[in-house]
Amino acid sequence: MLQFKNISFGASSAVITSLAIIVGLAKTSSPQMNIIAALLIIALADNVSDSFGIHIHEESECDPAKEVTKTTLQNFFARLIITMVFILLIFALPLYIATLLSIVFGILIIVFLSYFIAKKQKVNPVASIFQHLIITTCVMVASFFLRELLSDLAYKFL
């Protein structure tokens, strides 16, 4: 049985990481291929790393082996599926449109996760959504400015 708690970490992590890559690499040379390559690397390396971290954490909590495996796999596949949607958008659409749709898709996932977490915790969903969207936005803005800074440095020194 798919458990929300097992996919919420992977889903939010995939959104934040993917949006940072998309926004950060959108104006590089050969941006679509750079973004797709980076997302594929993230889909593999970062996903395995996070899933392994969750696996170790669950084991340290002395959870049953079946629960540990289920949690690990659900996290892994949540991240993989979401990252693949971002890759599909970047591959299939003009970059400007793909970037905008990726941001909308990512924000919708964060809103959805935040809403259900807030309802489960019996807290104000609007406050939870706002807090999580601020974090998501900060990562995208930081990625944008990091890209601009690196572009300026490359132009001046290379």
In angstroms, rounded to a whole number, what is the distance separating the alpha carbons of residues 15 and 35? 14
* Predicted local distance difference test score (pLDDT) of residue 105: 97
Question: Does residue 119 surpass a pLDDT of 90?
Answer: yes
Six-digit token string for 14: 């995939």
Nearest in space to 29 (alpha carbons), one of 155, 157, 156: 155
More confident site: 24 or 3 = 24
24-40: average pLDDT: 84
Question: Does residue 107 surpass a pLDDT of 90?
Answer: yes
Six-digit token string for 122: 């019996």
**For the whole model, what pTM was predicted?**
0.82
Predicted confidence band of residue 86 (pLDDT cuts 50, 70, 90): very high
Q: Cα–Cα distances in Å, from 106 out to 30, 63, 67, 115?
A: 23, 31, 28, 14
Strands in 60-149 per DSSP E? none
